[in-house]
A and B are shown apart, each in its own frame.
Chain A
């Protein structure tokens, strides 16, 4: 539907602007549910900046997924589930983002999922720092934030890529255990998209369109 709409808009625009002498613009591709597109599938977008934006929008399907944003809240309460319900038991962030005395993250969370108990787990389970808020934000807003040293832990884009590509806690998003829906694609596919976004100039999408 989205592709058809894009095609119709492009066709009308193409006819109106050029008298029908040029083909319509290549629409951004769409991945199947649960999958991620590869960087090569954006090659049809000739404009480098627009290609970069479209690639980030695709990566944003992971960055805005419940498995990721639930641990990037703006307040002191982690979320859980696809509807971002407050964490039960009612734990708090604590000074080091790892809980409070007697109720730390690792009071319950182990270094891997506890399948029988349905308690999710990964090495160094913790919340993202308060300034790295993703919950409730668009891909465009997260993109701007990722490029802001004050809100990305003073990281370079290469360091953020390394974090997304290799951090075991990030990896949990694709192996969440129990009946939790994994993030789309795979960690390697996200890393490839993020690298392609960097390589195309790391242009953030605008709020209203890719």
Chain B
């Protein structure tokens, strides 16, 4: 059994240590807000936080998360009141929405380290999160809004 904390709750999972964190979250814990995109850490759809830092859950083996704290989109703010979530709603950022959980989790990791990012900071830090609908302009605007700028 592997012990970890997910969204503030202590969990134990019966999984091979090499199982990707993404499958533990989605298949074993039922947290399907985190999406499977490419499976190769190239699209960012599966981004979650491990001890507050962004990781791609599709390539992160569960052994890396053992004894650590994982935050998913469901745990960012259970009431949906994180500044990023409010900005996302106000600006109507998503189109199809598939990539948005990853976008928000990356943006949250950025703001945690850099509360007042420039446009370039946002573009650089979210460069690994692809949006096939091309909502990048609204994503950047929402991150700036959440940052209060």
Co-complex (A, B): yes
Contacts of A104 in B (CB 8 A): 53-54
Query: CB of B110 within 8 A of chain A?
Result: yes
- Which residue of A103, A108, A114 is within 8 Å of B124 (Cβ)? A103
Q: Do A107 and B53 have beta carbons less than 8 Å apart?
A: yes
Q: Do B59 and A110 have beta carbons less than 8 Å apart?
A: yes
- Which residue of A100, A111, A114, A117 is within 8 Å of B125 (Cβ)? A100
Nearest to B123 among chain A residues (CB) is: A90
Query: CB of B58 within 8 A of chain A?
Result: yes
Q: How many residues of B contact A (CB 8 A)?
A: 28
Task: Determine how close the nearest CB of chain B comes to the CB of A18; give it in whole angstroms.
Answer: 63
| B94-118 to A contact mask, C-beta < 8 Å, 1/0 | 0000000000001101101110000
Query: CB of A164 within 8 A of chain B?
Result: no
Task: Determine how close the nearest CB of chain A comes to the CB of B107; give it in whole angstroms.
Answer: 7
| A102-121 to B contact mask, C-beta < 8 Å, 1/0 | 11101110110010111100
Contacts of A23 in B (CB 8 A): none
Nearest to B130 among chain A residues (CB) is: A89
Most buried by A among B56, B64, B106, B110: B56
Q: Do B64 and A103 have beta carbons less than 8 Å apart?
A: no
| Chain A interface bracket (under 10, 10 to 19, 20 to 34, 35 or more) | 20 to 34
Task: Determine how close the nearest CB of chain B comes to the CB of A139; give it in whole angstroms.
Answer: 33
Q: Do B106 and A88 have beta carbons less than 8 Å apart?
A: no
A89 to B126 Cα, complex, angstroms? 10
Contacts of B91 in A (CB 8 A): none
Query: CB of B75 within 8 A of chain A?
Result: no
Contacts of A111 in B (CB 8 A): 64
Nearest to A92 among chain B residues (CB) is: B124
Task: Determine how close the nearest CB of chain A comes to the CB of B106; give it in whole angstroms.
Answer: 4
Q: Do B127 and A101 have beta carbons less than 8 Å apart?
A: no
Query: CB of B60 within 8 A of chain A?
Result: yes
Nearest to A114 among chain B residues (CB) is: B59
Taking beta carbons and an 8 Å cutoff, which residues of B are in contact with A? 39-42, 44, 47, 53-56, 58-61, 64, 106-107, 109-110, 112-114, 121, 124-128
New A-B contacts (4) at CB < 8 Å, excluding given A118-B40, A119-B41: A108-B41, A108-B56, A110-B64, A116-B39
Taking beta carbons and an 8 Å cutoff, which residues of A are in contact with B? 88-92, 100-104, 106-108, 110-111, 114, 116-119
